């Protein structure tokens, strides 16, 4: 494998330019990632741990930012769902190469209400609704065509009337710690951390 040595030169992260609320900076960086034409700018790596403390990670899409945290949707019976059930502490990581930026978040995942999951589920294209409703996410399949057959059978049976299964819905991840990382030349990267306290977020700069 060739070793690539990339120099980060796109910007700086100065305290004087950072909003008091980390959510505001998160929104700003997301908008800038969209503006920079990043593929799937809302994609984030969700890390969970199983009951023995072993981590696993996968990408999910950010579908909302609220006072209660960062929202994503999935199958509650999936591997990630069962790991969150036994340990709600999770981490989320964004990486936008075009902007040389990373955001790392740590917090707890909490299921959102059925009503809110319904609102999102029924806003999706019909085929996506059917796919999420039929897929036994993370379970073993017997052949490459099995999931297509399940999808087509459900499409025929349900027509336009799909019901959100109880096991598919959203989580909100509260923020206990969030770090903004901006790449710099010679690996002297900027790192600004916000830690949640009873009096709001405490901000600090940490070494690269
Ligand atoms: C860019 C990207 C976005 C994804 N978004 C989601 C998502 O929002 N929800 C989801 O359940 N899976 C999403 N997936 C699929 C997951 O990465 C993963 O394969 C799936 O959720 C099963 O994970 P698990 O078996 O660890 O539970 C996405 C994958 C990629 C590459």
Domain boundaries, the chain: 15-122+167-205, 124-163
Give the pLDDT confidence of 134-150 residue by residue, as tens digits: 999 999 999 999 999 99
- Atom 14 in ligand 1: which residue has the minimum CA distance? 60
CA distance 83 to 60: 15
Task: Name, in order, each residue with C-beta under 8 angstroms of 40's C-beta and a sequence gap of 6 or more.
Answer: 61
Q: How far is the CA of 88 from the centre of ligand 1 (A)?
A: 18
Pair 198, 139: CB distance under 8 Å: no
Look at residue 67 and tell me whether its pLDDT is greater than 90: no
Give the residue among 201, 144, 207, 203 at the shortest CA–CA distance from 174: 201
Q: How far is the CA of 60 from the centre of ligand 1 (A)?
A: 5
Give the largest CA-CA distance in the chain.
60
Work out the pLDDT band at 68, boundaries 50, 70, 90: confident
> Counting atoms of ligand 1 from 1, which one is nearest the CA of 46?
17
Residues with CB under 6 A from ligand 1: 40, 43, 56, 58-61, 72-75, 78-80, 137-138
Q: For residue 10, what pLDDT is reported? A: 94
- Determine which helix (DSSP H) or strand (DSSP E) holds 69, and give its type and residue range: strand 69-75
Q: For residue 66, what pLDDT is reported? A: 84
Pair 26, 103: CB distance under 8 Å: yes
Q: For residue 178, what pLDDT is reported? A: 97
> Domain 15-122+167-205 sits in which CATH superfamily?
Electron Transport, Fmn-binding Protein; Chain A (2.30.110.10)
Mean pLDDT to the nearest integer, 90-111: 98
């Amino acid at each position: 494998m060739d070793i690539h040595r990339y120099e980060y030169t796109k910007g700086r992260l100065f305290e004087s330019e950072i909003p008091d609320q980390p959510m505001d900076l998160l929104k700003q960086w997301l908008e800038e990632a969209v503006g920079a034409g990043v593929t799937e700018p809302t994609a984030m790596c969700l890390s969970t741990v199983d009951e023995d403390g072993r981590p696993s990670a996968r990408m999910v899409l950010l579908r909302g930012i609220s006072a209660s945290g960062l929202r994503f949707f999935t199958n509650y019976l999936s591997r990630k769902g069962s790991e969150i059930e036994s340990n709600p502490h999770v981490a989320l990581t964004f990486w936008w190469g075009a902007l040389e930026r990373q955001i790392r978040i740590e917090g707890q995942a909490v299921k959102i209400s059925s009503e809110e999951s319904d609102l999102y589920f029924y806003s999706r294209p019909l085929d996506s609704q059917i796919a999420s409703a039929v897929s036994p996410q993370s379970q073993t399949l017997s052949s490459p065509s099995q999931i297509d057959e399940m999808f087509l059978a459900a499409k025929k049976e349900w027509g336009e009337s799909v019901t959100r299964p109880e096991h598919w819905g959203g989580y909100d991840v509260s923020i206990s710690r969030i770090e903004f990382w901006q790449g710099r030349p010679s690996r002297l990267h900027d790192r600004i951390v916000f830690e949640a306290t009873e009096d709001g977020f405490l901000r600090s700069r940490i070494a690269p």
